[in-house]
């Protein structure tokens, strides 16, 4: 056993994965494990040790995921919203949403659900418009709700994410006054102290540069890991250039801090063992300040083991230490294995440990000659050249190794491939080191002389601008990064995805290699829904976009979509609806001028996919945007017809029927007219669809599919997929056949009768 923890952690991972699929935690298994442990101790038989470790983690993980407090609570709270009074302690840093809600995890102490006392210590996910701090004890009145699964492909799966932290209920407090803080900071004294020092540090670091929020975000993100306060759009270019790790306080930071502390200790001439004993707790405190992310805990454990080597006078094996860190983290919380943070952190460091040195040796041979040539034989310039060359080789090999390690995971989780990150890291990481160092200097100087601290802050302002500038530059490089759909996804050349945008609409049409959008949903959903979806589909650039009408829930995100996906063609409804969404879009400067479409126009979306515009005719008068949306019909493989009715109402339907066009279509995709009056019997007679995909929402009333209407559809033997139940619907076309599939339920409807 040269690197004992490598084998141990592999055994642990196998145990956890098996337990995740087949959880079983009976007393007998537990007893077998104990017997095995005793036998392993007695006879020291290595395979038995691994078996015992694997079985131990199997039992641990089984116990962790079965019959948990959250399961018990979800059982009581049920699937319907139920009002309740609860008390509990805030266990995570509250994150403030744009709409003023604070979201955080609350470990319950007690609950009263519909006047019935419930004993529980489950943790719930809370949304409340109050301003609590971590460690506060709260009393709240609100409603329990189950956590919803994502309704569209590509959306972040909050349910799975929270389930890994054993959180299975959402608790919504509607009014700010329905909650109060009973006792500030009654739990978690260390975390509380960490939060306090972090708040102080944040004040110091943003002094005199408050009016550059991007810079403050970068500095605080880099030095303190305050990610929950930075806007997502600041982080995006970092993600696209593979440098997001700078923002997420991670291994690199803890490593740098450890080195800085070590240097300080050496300057102060502290004995090595004393220095070690001081630095290790400081590193863990730093990990706590920065929010105890897996990566920083991993780095703190590894640094502690590195320093511990001095205590025990032994060589420190990097791979063994890495495995030991993984082992300890999994022992503490086996669910970590399934988080992207854990996987990324260990994959990246693992490949650095395994690959960086061999690559460095090869690179160094190229850029710098044999280091054993006496240095005096070289001129000063040569020596500097060699020094630079070797450092460059070191940087390139670490960067390359990290890239190789992160590539598969970044691709799997974010559908993103970032060749540019190799260069970006080389350029940005050294400057980021200075940002961190200047932040430290500013913090050290602050209690002594605040003027000096402000000088450091201003120097940091400059450094941060360099980092931001570089990162934006690298993010803009063509082919520097691109999105790629998962290889496991179906790659049907022609498919339509009707997204669930609530009362709004957005549909993606893939036409033999060309990507089109028909509407793009609301502005507020854009990042979460449409953008994530297009990234998941591997869309880097749209061929075109059709904007059907001036409804904020249909075209609200048009500007964002155009900025991110640069469609080559933009088509708009010719009518002036005088809606604010349309005005915002039409008045925006610097965008390509959209072309207007009328009845009779025809577009080629891609080979075998045409769009015919059926509505509006020129010169009609309208009262509201819904009255005259662009109505387009796709003709696929020359025989399948898909009618996009958008939010058209009875008036538009009548006008379509009068026009004398053959409206017959296989699939009808419709929204709801604001009057609630659409999909009239006459219209259905004309269209004769086999499948209707329709939006539906409880409120407002007009947006909900009525009982009569749905029974009418049933009477006509038309298949109805209502999106309040199905979420997004994906239709794949093959020859004359097509299949529609609900994203939420997996229910499929096939055109062929086979």
Partner 1 sequence: MQIDRTLEPLRAVTSLFYPALCAVCHAPVTRGDYVCQDCLGKAQRIVAPFCAKCSEPFPGAIEGEFTCSNCAHRSLAFDAAVAAYRSRGVVRFVILQFKYSRQLHLRHPVAEWLLEAMNDDRLRDRNFDCVVPVPLHPARFRERGFNQAELLAKILGQRMNLTLSRPLERTRYTTTQTAFDRNDRMENLRGAFRLRKRIGVRGLRVLLVDDILTTGSTLSECARVLREAGAQSVFAVTAARA
| Residue ranges binding partner 1 (CB under 8 A) | 1-5, 8, 266, 305, 308-310, 312-317, 320-321, 324, 374-377
Please say which residue, 36 or 505, places its beta carbon nearer to partner 1: 36
Determine the length of the chain: 754
Q: Is the dihedral of CA 460, 461, 462, 467 positive or negative?
A: positive
d(CA 749, CA 667): 11
Q: What are phi and psi of 8, to 5 degrees?
A: -65, -45
Closest of 676, 666, 672 to residue 724, by C-alpha:
672
Contacts 24+ apart (CB under 8 A), 659-666: 659/599, 659/614, 659/617, 661/614, 663/614, 663/687, 664/688, 665/633, 665/641, 665/689, 666/640, 666/641, 666/642, 666/690, 666/691, 666/738, 666/751
Please say which residue, 380 or 754, places its beta carbon nearer to partner 1: 380
Please say which residue, 21 or 312, places its beta carbon nearer to partner 1: 312
Which position has the token pair 């009845």? 599
13, 330 contact by CB (below 8 A): yes
Q: How far is the CB of 329 from partner 1 (least distance, A)?
A: 15
d(CA 748, CA 739): 7
Please say which residue, 319 or 455, places its beta carbon nearer to partner 1: 319
Q: What are phi and psi of 576, to 5 degrees?
A: -95, 105
- 364, with CB counted inside 10 A (0-12, 13-18, 19+), is buried
Q: How far is the CB of 472 from partner 1 (least distance, A)?
A: 38
Q: How far is the CB of 14 from partner 1 (least distance, A)?
A: 18
Please say which residue, 315 or 621, places its beta carbon nearer to partner 1: 315
> DSSP class of residue 527?
I
Q: How far is the CB of 57 from partner 1 (least distance, A)?
A: 16
Which position has the token pair 């489950």? 122
Q: How far is the CB of 738 from partner 1 (least distance, A)?
A: 59
Q: How far is the CB of 298 from partner 1 (least distance, A)?
A: 15
Q: How far lies 749's CA from each of 308, 511, 666, 732, 735, in Å?
A: 62, 21, 12, 11, 16
Q: At what angle do helices 558-565 and 580-587 cross, to 10 degrees?
A: 30
Please say which residue, 51 or 518, places its beta carbon nearer to partner 1: 51
Please say which residue, 1 or 462, places its beta carbon nearer to partner 1: 1
694, 507 contact by CB (below 8 A): no
Classify 567 in phi/psi space as left (phi over 0), alpha (psi -120 to 50) or beta.
beta
d(CA 688, CA 713): 11
Q: How far is the CB of 36 from partner 1 (least distance, A)?
A: 17
Q: How far is the CB of 3 from partner 1 (least distance, A)?
A: 7
Q: What are phi and psi of 619, to 5 degrees?
A: 60, 55
Q: How far is the CB of 316 from partner 1 (least distance, A)?
A: 7
Please say which residue, 90 or 324, places its beta carbon nearer to partner 1: 324
Please say which residue, 4 or 419, places its beta carbon nearer to partner 1: 4
Q: How far is the CB of 372 from partner 1 (least distance, A)?
A: 9
Q: How far is the CB of 439 from partner 1 (least distance, A)?
A: 24
Q: How far is the CB of 312 from partner 1 (least distance, A)?
A: 5
Closest of 20, 310, 18 to residue 163, by C-alpha:
20
Q: How far lies 598's CA from each of 484, 601, 613, 614, 629, in Å?
A: 35, 6, 6, 8, 11
**In the chain, count of helices (H) and strands (E)?**
25, 26
Strand order in the sheet with 748-750: 595-596, 569-572, 544-547, 514-520, 506-511, 494-498, 729-734, 737-742, 748-750
666, 658 contact by CB (below 8 A): no
Strand order in the sheet with 609-615: 602-606, 609-615, 631-636, 640-646, 667-670, 691-694, 719-722
Q: How far lies 260's CA from each of 275, 276, 308, 366, 400, in Å?
A: 12, 13, 17, 31, 25
Please say which residue, 51 or 631, places its beta carbon nearer to partner 1: 51
Please say which residue, 53 or 581, places its beta carbon nearer to partner 1: 53
Q: Which ranges in 86-231 belong to alpha helices (H)?
A: 158-163, 189-206, 213-224
Q: How far is the CB of 378 from partner 1 (least distance, A)?
A: 10
Please say which residue, 149 or 266, places its beta carbon nearer to partner 1: 266
Please say which residue, 40 or 398, places its beta carbon nearer to partner 1: 40
Q: How far is the CB of 319 from partner 1 (least distance, A)?
A: 11
641, 634 contact by CB (below 8 A): yes
Please say which residue, 45 or 175, places its beta carbon nearer to partner 1: 45
Half-sphere exposure of 52 (CA within 13 A, CB side): 17
Closest of 62, 135, 74, 71 to residue 105, by C-alpha:
135
109, 89 contact by CB (below 8 A): yes
Please say which residue, 10 or 455, places its beta carbon nearer to partner 1: 10
Please say which residue, 268 or 701, places its beta carbon nearer to partner 1: 268
Q: How far is the CB of 374 from partner 1 (least distance, A)?
A: 4
Q: How far is the CB of 361 from partner 1 (least distance, A)?
A: 14
Q: How far is the CB of 376 from partner 1 (least distance, A)?
A: 5
d(CA 350, CA 377): 38
Please say which residue, 314 or 715, places its beta carbon nearer to partner 1: 314
Please say which residue, 268 or 376, places its beta carbon nearer to partner 1: 376
Q: How far is the CB of 365 from partner 1 (least distance, A)?
A: 18
d(CA 754, CA 741): 17
Q: Which residues contact 418 (CB under 8 A, 6 or more apart)?
A: 240, 241, 242, 403, 410, 424, 480, 481
CB neighbours of residue 195 within 10 Å: 19
């Amino acid at each position: 056993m040269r690197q004992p923890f490598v084998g141990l952690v592999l055994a642990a991972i196998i145990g956890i994965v098996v337990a995740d699929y087949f959880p079983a935690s009976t007393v007998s298994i537990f007893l077998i494990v104990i017997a095995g442990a005793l036998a392993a101790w007695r006879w020291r038989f290595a395979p038995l040790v691994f078996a015992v470790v694997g079985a131990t983690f199997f039992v641990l993980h089984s116990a962790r995921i079965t019959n948990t407090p959250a399961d018990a609570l979800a059982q009581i709270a049920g699937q319907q919203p139920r009002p309740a009074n609860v008390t509990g302690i805030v266990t995570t840093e509250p994150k403030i949403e744009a709409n003023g809600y604070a979201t955080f995890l609350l470990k319950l102490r007690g609950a009263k659900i519909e006047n019935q006392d419930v004993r529980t210590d489950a943790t719930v996910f809370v949304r409340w418009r109050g301003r609590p701090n971590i460690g506060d004890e709260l009393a709240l009145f609100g409603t329990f709700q189950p956590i919803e699964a994502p309704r569209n492909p590509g959306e972040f799966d909050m349910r799975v994410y929270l389930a890994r932290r054993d959180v299975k209920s959402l608790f919504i407090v509607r009014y700010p006054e329905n909650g109060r803080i009973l006792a500030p900071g009654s739990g978690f004294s260390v975390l509380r102290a960490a939060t306090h020092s972090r708040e102080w540090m944040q004040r110091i670091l943003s002094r005199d540069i408050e009016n550059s929020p991007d810079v403050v975000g970068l500095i605080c993100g880099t030095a303190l890991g305050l990610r929950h306060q930075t806007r997502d759009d600041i982080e995006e270019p970092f993600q696209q250039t593979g440098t997001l790790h700078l923002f997420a306080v991670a291994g690199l930071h803890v490593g740098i801090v450890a080195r800085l502390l070590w240097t300080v200790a050496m300057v102060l001439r502290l004995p090595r063992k004393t220095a070690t004993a001081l630095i290790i707790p400081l590193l863990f405190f730093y990990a706590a300040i920065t929010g105890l992310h897996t990566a920083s805990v991993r780095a703190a454990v590894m640094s502690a083991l590195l320093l511990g080597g001095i205590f025990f006078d032994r060589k420190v094996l990097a791979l063994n230490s890495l495995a030991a860190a993984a082992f300890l983290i999994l022992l503490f919380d086996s669910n970590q294995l399934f988080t992207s943070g854990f996987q990324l952190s260990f994959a990246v460091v693992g490949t650095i440990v395994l690959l960086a040195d061999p690559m460095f040796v090869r690179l160094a041979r190229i850029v710098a000659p044999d280091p054993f040539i006496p240095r005096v034989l070289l001129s000063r310039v040569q020596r500097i050249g060699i020094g630079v060359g070797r450092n460059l080789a070191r940087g390139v090999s670490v960067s390359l190794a990290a890239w190789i390690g992160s590539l598969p995971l970044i691709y799997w989780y974010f559908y993103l491939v970032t060749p540019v990150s190799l260069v970006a890291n080389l350029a940005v990481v050294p400057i980021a080191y200075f940002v961190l160092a200047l932040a430290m200097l500013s913090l050290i100087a602050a209690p002594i002389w605040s003027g000096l601290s402000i000088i450091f802050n201003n120097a940091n302002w400059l450094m941060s601008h360099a980092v931001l500038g570089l990162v934006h530059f690298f993010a803009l490089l063509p082919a520097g990064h691109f999105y790629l759909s998962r290889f496991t996804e179906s790659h049907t050349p022609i498919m339509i995805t009707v997204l669930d945008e609530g009362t709004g609409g957005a549909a993606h049409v893939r036409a033999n290699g060309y990507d089109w959008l028909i509407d793009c949903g609301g502005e507020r959903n854009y990042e979460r829904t449409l953008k994530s979806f297009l990234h998941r589909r591997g869309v880097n650039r749209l061929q075109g976009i059709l904007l059907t009408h001036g409804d904020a829930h249909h075209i609200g995100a048009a500007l964002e979509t155009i900025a991110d996906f640069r469609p080559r063609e933009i088509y708009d409804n010719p009518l002036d609806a005088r809606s604010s969404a349309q005005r915002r879009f039409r008045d925006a400067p610097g965008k390509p001028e959209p072309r207007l479409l009328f009845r009779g126009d025809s577009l080629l979306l891609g080979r075998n996919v045409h769009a015919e515009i059926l509505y509006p005719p020129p010169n009609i008068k309208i009262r509201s945007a819904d009255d005259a949306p662009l109505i387009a019909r796709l003709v696929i493989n020359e025989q399948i017809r898909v009618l996009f009715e958008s939010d058209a109402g009875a008036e538009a339907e009548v006008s379509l029927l009068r026009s004398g066009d053959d409206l017959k279509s296989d699939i009808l995709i419709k929204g709801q007219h604001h009057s609630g009056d659409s999909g009239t019997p006459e219209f259905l007679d004309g269209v004769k669809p086999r499948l209707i995909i329709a939006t539906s929402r409880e409120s407002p009333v007009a947006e909900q599919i009525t009982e009569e209407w749905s029974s009418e559809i049933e009477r006509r033997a038309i298949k109805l997929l209502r999106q309040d139940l199905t979420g997004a619907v994906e239709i794949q076309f093959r020859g004359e056949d097509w299949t529609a599939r609900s994203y939420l339920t997996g229910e499929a409807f096939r055109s062929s009768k086979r």
